[in-house]
Amino acid sequence: MESLRTWLRKSAGNSLGRRFAMLILVFSSVVTLVSTVFQLDMEYRRDVDEVELRLRQIDSSYADSLASSLWITSSRDLELQLQGILRLPDLQYVEVRNEHGQVAARAGAARRQGVLSHDFPLSYQHRGRLVRIGTVRAVASLDGARQRLRDKVVAILIWQTIKTFLVSLFILVLFQLLVGRHLKRIAAYSDLLSAGRMQQALTLERRGGKRNAHDELSQMVAALNAMRERLHQAFRDLQDSEFRWKHALEGAGHGVWDFNVASGAVLYSRRWKEMLGYRDDELPDRLETYERLAHPDDLRRARVLLAGNFDGSTMTYAMEQRMRCKDGSWKWVEARGMVVEQDAAGRATRMIGTHTDISGHRAGAERMAALLEQTEQARAELRRANDGMEAQVAERTAELERANRELEAFSYSVSHDLRSPLRGIDGWSLALQEDYAARLDATGLEYLRRVRGESQRMGQLIDGMLEFSRLGRATLASHAVDLSALARTVAARVVEANPARALEFTIQPGLSAWGDGRLLEAALHNLLENACKFSAMRTPARIAFGRESVAAPGAAAATAAAPAAPAFFVRDDGAGFDMAHAQQLFGVFQRLHKASEFAGTGIGLATVQRIVQRHGGAIWAVAAPDAGATFYFTLKEPPCTAK
């Protein structure tokens, strides 16, 4: 068993086997789901048919007794019989109406959705004549059939999942035994071939040699061994010329020269000539070409270096020199070469080398020297500027303190001076409404209601403006914050404030962040309250808070495949909005919906953005009209994990 576990761990890295098993698993899962859906559909239809049969049986079993009780107008007997009918499985509601359509008796609670109903007449034999005296309506709930269906779904899916997993595991093990381990050996052998180790032919450890002699693996082994022979031969052929061109290939893209010392012939590459502005056929392949184009001062130094190569005292050649171009200008090149062949006395008989254009490097060095001089001058000016820096900082600090004091005074004025008239407007409007309501018509009362509503809304705007201004001045008290617990607390307050709404909150557990708990609570309250407000048309309204990896809009615009990063989100299934107006979301007093549709001050999202920015994060939204909205935001990492 231990050896099997060890083998499974090793085979987990086999991507081909894993993909093969995943394909089998996906196909089996699709077949399982299709067959399960078909089976569950048949089961559900059978349960519904049984409910319909039970409703029809009420007609045959209870019609006579219900007709007798209705004839004698015995409400007590009717109610007892109806209570007995309700004890039948899935029955939810039964009522008896007389011939005038009036309800004589009923039992249970009526519901319009997820039910089956059956109406049948009640007739009574009176003096030999059958008289229709009323009707019976029986309503059965399909909740039981659906619950039985859900129970079957779980059982069937668990069984089918186990079968699919076992089949995929068996196929993975079989694939590894028959193919995977041999492919690994073939890959390892290919690495040996790439490293030039071609001495041994490839063999696989397989049973049933005759039976496997002509299968695909054997053909692959034969092809690799044949390729090994061809590579070995080609390797021997290339060894003779490899050393000659080794240095030239290292200078790929540069001018190459090949100098036969004995004959004086020099093979200049096309790039060597093009570097100086010549065509390939304009310069003869002789040493005199180099001597004619080299700068006289540099030619004397080159002859001294070459003399050392010719007599065998040095094997390499390197210098920087000037070469005359076709247009008469001089170009700086770096000449490098080495002795590749010598005679018996050790004198050079052949040299190979390159010319590299370094004019740009030389010009860059000159520009760098000028830049360094300018840098020194700039440093001197910076030192002079720093002398007055402290005074400027002190002056700016004083200005900032004055601005903060003025802002606090303004906030105090807004908080006290502006509230008093608003309270007066609201109070006198309320008094007028209470004392003189009888003297005003409906239009006057509506005007009063609007006056009070607008004054209260102005008070809310003042509160929002004050809170918004305080955010920029408040000191952050950062610590570890349990965002999941905070979101649950805020969600409970939202539910309590909206008792008439059906709200479903889904909060991902274990989410935490580093920041000011009071400000983060205010941000979550604004976001969750907005989600509740803009999903008012949904019953139930579904609101979620969690964290997922997503690409920020700025990163997505910058690159075709922007990297995803974790971000918190608040998602709802409400009204949504057009992304063409997304840039207006976080502005003060900016609204994307009419105030008559959704109440609000237009400050909440601006407040959230300021809180997030103060925590070193960003906030953005993704939405579509009538398809809900998702607000993403990020926060600065804790100090212990920040990179």
Question: Which of these ranges, 124-138, 389-403, 473-487, 513-527, has the smallest mean pLDDT?
Answer: 389-403
pLDDT tens digits for 561-576? 557 889 999 999 988 8
pLDDT average, residue stretch 285-311: 91
Q: Which pLDDT score, from 0 to 100, does residue 422 have?
A: 64
| End-of-domain residue from the set 397, 428, 463 | 463
CATH number at residue 170: 3.30.450
Same domain, 174 and 36: yes
Q: Which pLDDT score, from 0 to 100, does residue 12 have?
A: 47
pLDDT tens digits for 102-122? 888 888 887 778 788 888 888
Same domain, 487 and 555: yes
First to last CA, the chain: 44
pLDDT tens digits for 60-102? 787 778 888 878 877 788 888 888 888 888 888 888 888 888 8
CATH number at residue 506: 3.30.565.10
Please tell me which residue, 526 or 254, carries the higher pLDDT value.
526
Q: Which pLDDT score, from 0 to 100, does residue 144 have?
A: 77
Same domain, 205 and 180: no
pLDDT average, residue stretch 151-156: 77
Residue 618, pLDDT above cutoff 50: yes
Same domain, 68 and 94: yes
Q: In what order do the strands lie in the sheet with 348-357?
A: 266-268, 255-260, 348-357, 330-342, 316-324
| Residue 421: inside a domain | yes
- The two tokens of residue 473 are 């001045």
pLDDT average, residue stretch 281-289: 90
Same domain, 214 and 174: no
Cα of 25 vs its chain's centroid, Å? 26
Q: Which pLDDT score, from 0 to 100, does residue 240 have?
A: 60
Nearest to 620 by CA among 528, 558, 527, 543: 527
Q: Which pLDDT score, from 0 to 100, does residue 241 have?
A: 63
How buried is residue 228: exposed, middle or buried, by Cβ count under 10 Å (0-12/13-18/19+)?
buried
- pLDDT bracket for residue 471 (50, 70, 90): low
Same domain, 415 and 524: no
Whole-angstrom distance, CA of residue 202 vs CA of residue 225: 6
Q: How many Cα atoms within 13 Å fall on the side-chain side of residue 190?
A: 10
| 56 and 118 Cβ atoms separated by less than 8 Å | yes
Residue 378, pLDDT above cutoff 50: yes
| End-of-domain residue from the set 362, 390, 419 | 362
Please tell me which residue, 335 or 39, carries the higher pLDDT value.
335
Residue 386, pLDDT above cutoff 90: no
- pLDDT bracket for residue 294 (50, 70, 90): very high
- pLDDT bracket for residue 4 (50, 70, 90): very low
pLDDT tens digits for 504-516? 999 999 999 998 8
**Residue whose tokens read 């100098």:** 259
For the chain, the average pLDDT equals 78
- pLDDT bracket for residue 213 (50, 70, 90): low
Q: Which pLDDT score, from 0 to 100, does residue 327 have?
A: 92
Q: Which pLDDT score, from 0 to 100, does residue 556 have?
A: 43
| 619 and 626 Cβ atoms separated by less than 8 Å | no
Nearest to 338 by CA among 317, 321, 307: 317
| Residue 616: inside a domain | yes
| End-of-domain residue from the set 247, 273, 307 | 247
Residue 593, pLDDT above cutoff 60: no
pLDDT average, residue stretch 522-547: 88
| Residue 470: inside a domain | no
Same domain, 190 and 268: no
CATH number at residue 332: 3.30.450.20
CA dihedral 153, 158, 159, 163 (to 10 degrees): 130
pLDDT average, residue stretch 572-592: 71
Whole-angstrom distance, CA of residue 97 vs CA of residue 92: 17
Cα of 633 vs its chain's centroid, Å? 13
What is the domain count for the chain?
5
Whole-angstrom distance, CA of residue 493 vs CA of residue 532: 11
| 589 and 577 Cβ atoms separated by less than 8 Å | no
Same domain, 448 and 531: no
Same domain, 616 and 578: yes
Same domain, 62 and 1: yes
Q: Which pLDDT score, from 0 to 100, does residue 459 have?
A: 62
Same domain, 164 and 15: yes
Percent of the chain with pLDDT over 90: 12
| 342 and 348 Cβ atoms separated by less than 8 Å | yes
- The two tokens of residue 62 are 């209870």
Q: Which pLDDT score, from 0 to 100, does residue 404 have?
A: 62
| Residue 397: inside a domain | no
Same domain, 4 and 103: yes
State the residue range of the domain holding 330.
251-362
| Residue 388: inside a domain | no
pLDDT average, residue stretch 202-211: 66
Residues 6+ apart with CB under 8 A from 523: 607, 608, 611, 612, 633
Q: Which pLDDT score, from 0 to 100, does residue 483 have?
A: 92
Q: Which pLDDT score, from 0 to 100, does residue 544 have?
A: 94
Residue 558, pLDDT above cutoff 50: no
| Residue 641: inside a domain | no
Return the beta strands (E) in 224-310 as ranges: 255-260, 266-268
Q: What is the pTM of this model?
A: 0.35
